[in-house]
Amino acid sequence: MEEADNIRQAPRQKRARASVDFILDAATQVLERDGEAGFNTNAVAERAGVSIGTLYRYFPDKLAILKAMGMRETVAFRKVVAQAMAGETEGLARDRAVIRAFLRAFQGRTRARQIAMMAMLAHADHRKLAEGFGPVETSFTDAAGKALSPIAGFVLSRAVQGAMRAAVLEGADFLLCQEFEDELVKLSRAYLGYGPKA
């Protein structure tokens, strides 16, 4: 599923792209403030400062907005992963940079994130979502520098991703805490055979 799949009319001009971004930002704010019960297209349009007609030009319904929100964050996360694979990690270890990027998605708006992720996952093509794991999995090496097998790469990526996704979907209050990030890094490094000080 691509981000454009959720948008009725793909924005081509800068102003139109800005409108879509305003709508998605507003949707995130409405969800964070009012939860799913208060989330509707009228509230989103009002918060975005656009007419309901403008909103419907891009999104046929609130489900499309939720799915687009989830995909926007997925695309942003994949960019961070690509940068980390290229060594652009702002002084962080590569594994920590990737984990932190996932944990801090949605600018820390955990309530909005949970609702958007549930909608996206309920309607996603999971094979397409899994394609995002490919670059990470093929880059894994163990403590001895040996590349992981495809199966080992799968197990490691899904173990870490599964714990992070569960924290989001279960509304864990520790999602953004340093200890959770550290435990995920510890899990990753233990699987790769690094010692406790790595």
Give me the phi and psi of 108, to 5 degrees please. Answer: 80, 5
Bridge partners of 141, per DSSP, are 147
Q: For residue 59, which of 73, 38, 41 has the smallest C-alpha distance?
A: 41
pLDDT of residue 27: 95
Question: Token pair for residue 2?
Answer: 């691509």
Running along the chain, 198 residues long, what does each successive block of 10 average in pLDDT? 50 74 94 93 95 94 92 83 80 87 85 88 80 74 91 92 93 94 96 77
Quick one: pLDDT at residue 172?
A: 94
The pLDDT value recorded for residue 196 is 67
Q: Which domains does the chain show, CATH number per domain?
A: 3-191 (1.10.357.10)
Instruction: Please give the structure tokens belonging to residue 181.
Output: 């990030």
What's the pTM? 0.77
What pLDDT, on the 0 to 100 scale, is given for residue 4?
45
Give the Cα separation of 4 and 14 in Å (integer): 15
